[in-house]
Structure 1
């Protein structure tokens, strides 16, 4: 074999493969756009740091010492404070996840400081054990630093102005991380199963040529969407039951909300996930393309940007806005509240209303992708 002929053939093959790659838009997108998407997603989505701990401070009696306490908390770059005039108001705020902790300052705080020993009560939102443990350290550090600086300025021994922070964990008294993770895992499972079950349906029929056979029948797009959804919706219902049984009996996660609220929200999100996969399948040109888009549009954002592991408040503002567009974010917040805090019907109506909006949008997209025309 002459070397010159080898290189001639190799050059021809390279030219052919390069042209084929340039014509294949999906491969180009995966090769060029996927790395960019992943580096941005992981770079901005992965953060174990607490950069915006929201602390509600209940001051039962204002004094120079309590003002000094507030100044110390505000002096920390990791904390932001919100003052409340009474405890029930702060309690409602932590239940609605408006704040991450309550710092309760008693009426005797100023007198206790003067006697050299003061106690504060810190109530932590245990729905996220990582945030709670970090927040406890930041609050205690900010308070001790503030009073130590003041004692140093007045030439007072640090031991004569000691402040003790007594902490309690709400919604997760044992501090068990599985209480926080298992409800989130249910969301991820429904996202993965729902989107991937239906992501290949229409793309598979398009590749096999059976979709065109449906176009000559009087079947309408909405009827096709419903017919394709129902069998997989039944499978998804069984998955929900299995997940709830496992969370309660195997992992011993409390279900403080009603079963009706949890099942209703889960079925609504399952429908959204199935419709997302079906819409992707209708828009994709191949099964491979549909599977890649389903991975990027469903599972990856659900894992990184929904609040499953990392607190959304710690992400950049732009990423927070993007996370609020995802249906997974709304269901994640709702399911954790239902499991650990109990029924919150205002939150349930709000989040399920948003999920219903996604059902309408995705149903419309899926029907549009099934118009009776050949591509």
Structure 2
């Protein structure tokens, strides 16, 4: 190492040390980087679920026959439903209108007679369509219980007679890869890790340079022999280490506390997280450099960083169901590629066809933003 390089290394180390001490003395840094990630994991682990459980439905049995009782027991035994039994639909229609029930299943009076003749024996399903998502899921679960019962009834009738009873010729045997239990928590918690890194990367660093300008210490930094690159790296490196530590804590909590599977490698996780964190740290510094005010920088970081990561990354809302212009917009948002990579690493493992393109795109984002940041950082007082 030449004397000039050694001098630059000492300057960079001094800037990193100065920024690290500032982080240690700032309670908000520990709140955002330590408490907030764990709080988000607890919320998405225990409080948020996209699965329907114990849906309140009514089963109207107009005539209690053995077949109708068997179907009723199928709904009672399902973990998805909390069943109320009625004899007439008029008894429970008002509760559906009031929102106290999510659906009504009507087993008609001639249900058993139709089955005995080998004719079609339809049941009526009424759902509350005021919430389309819940209505669709409830209707799907109700139909699933009905189809399973029909298959079991056909099999039991075939066992009682010498010849097979006519039944469905085509059956569906679904298999869910990567998430066999279809537990939404297994896909939400990897996305929550992305939200945590977005907050740390944009919100914390957005306050850094703005705080320097407000306190008047930026003039002292500009008066030092340190170059723009050294000043920026001195601010990025401590927050990068803090973000990677928060990522490790979030990942460990998701795997060990909530039982989320982790089928990929730590190396892939670290590589993709580094590329994304570098992108968001650079974006946060760019915002703070332009704003020069902590309040404005904070608001801009939430709008540019947090909201797109929460709503347009595929974390909760499926990108494929969004309008075409919004889908195009998501292609220029780094969280989209990071959420996809995390879900792949956690649930599917190291899939190069997904991780390599996403990692390269994140590196490209980081390079472009860092070039913009260097050009936007002043070298002298205005």
| TM-score category, normalised to shorter length | 0.5 to 0.7
Match of 1:351 in 2: 358
Q: Is 1:211 aligned to 2:222, yes or no?
A: no
Partner secondary structure for residue 276 of structure 2: helix
Match of 2:65 in 1: none
Partner secondary structure for residue 353 of structure 1: helix
Q: Is 1:315 aligned to 2:322, yes or no?
A: yes
Q: 2:185 aligns with which of 170, 178, 183?
A: 178
- Superposed CA deviations along residues 99-121 of structure 1, whole A, max 9, x for unmatched, are xxxxxxxxxxxxxxxxx9xxxxx
Q: Counterparts in 2 of 1:102-251, with a 5 A limit?
A: 137=140, 163-251=170-258
Partner secondary structure for residue 168 of structure 1: coil
Q: Give me the whole-angstrom Cα distance separating, in 1, the residues matched to 2:181 and 2:168.
A: 31
Mark the runs of 5 or more structure 2 residues left unpaired by the alignment.
Answer: 1-49, 51-117, 119-132, 148-165
Q: Is 1:301 aligned to 2:308, yes or no?
A: yes
**C-alpha deviation, 1:374, in angstroms:** 2.8
- Superposed CA deviations along residues 202-244 of structure 1, whole A, max 9, x for unmatched, are 1111112111222222221111110001111111121111011
Q: Is 1:261 aligned to 2:259, yes or no?
A: no
Name the stretch that deviates more: 262-271 or 336-345: 262-271
Partner secondary structure for residue 331 of structure 2: helix
Q: Give me the whole-angstrom Cα distance separating, in 1, the residues matched to 2:237 and 2:264.
A: 27
**C-alpha deviation, 1:200, in angstroms:** 0.7
- Superposed CA deviations along residues 15-73 of structure 1, whole A, max 9, x for unmatched, are xxxxxxxxxxxxxxxxxxxxxxxxxxxxxxxxx9xxxxxxxxxxxxxxxxxxxxxxxxx
Partner secondary structure for residue 200 of structure 1: helix
**C-alpha deviation, 1:285, in angstroms:** 3.0
Q: Give me the whole-angstrom Cα distance separating, in 2, the residues matched to 1:359 and 1:252.
A: 32
- Superposed CA deviations along residues 76-99 of structure 1, whole A, max 9, x for unmatched, are xxxxxxxxxxxxxxxxxxxxxxxx
Q: 2:338 aligns with which of 313, 324, 331?
A: 331
Q: Give me the whole-angstrom Cα distance separating, in 2, the residues matched to 1:238 and 1:160.
A: 58
Match of 1:83 in 2: none
Match of 1:72 in 2: none
- Superposed CA deviations along residues 316-354 of structure 1, whole A, max 9, x for unmatched, are 000000011100001111110111011112322111111
Match of 1:56 in 2: none
Q: Give me the whole-angstrom Cα distance separating, in 1, the residues matched to 2:263 and 2:182.
A: 16
Name the stretch that deviates more: 358-367 or 330-339: 358-367
Q: Give me the whole-angstrom Cα distance separating, in 1, the residues matched to 2:322 and 2:340.
A: 16
**C-alpha deviation, 1:165, in angstroms:** 2.4
- Superposed CA deviations along residues 161-203 of structure 1, whole A, max 9, x for unmatched, are 6643222211101122211111000000010111111101111
Q: Give me the whole-angstrom Cα distance separating, in 1, the residues matched to 2:277 and 2:176.
A: 32
Q: Give me the whole-angstrom Cα distance separating, in 1, the residues matched to 2:295 and 2:287.
A: 12
Q: Give me the whole-angstrom Cα distance separating, in 1, the residues matched to 2:266 and 2:241.
A: 18
Count of residues in correspondence between the two structures: 230
Q: Give me the whole-angstrom Cα distance separating, in 1, the residues matched to 2:317 and 2:213.
A: 39
Match of 2:82 in 1: none
CA RMSD of aligned residues (A): 2.7
**TM score, norm. by length of structure 1:** 0.57
Match of 2:368 in 1: 361
> Which structure has the larger Rg over C-alpha atoms?
2
Q: Is 1:270 aligned to 2:280, yes or no?
A: no
Match of 1:91 in 2: none
Q: Is the Cα contact below 8 Å between 2:240 and 2:277 reproduced in 1?
A: yes
**TM score, norm. by length of structure 2:** 0.56
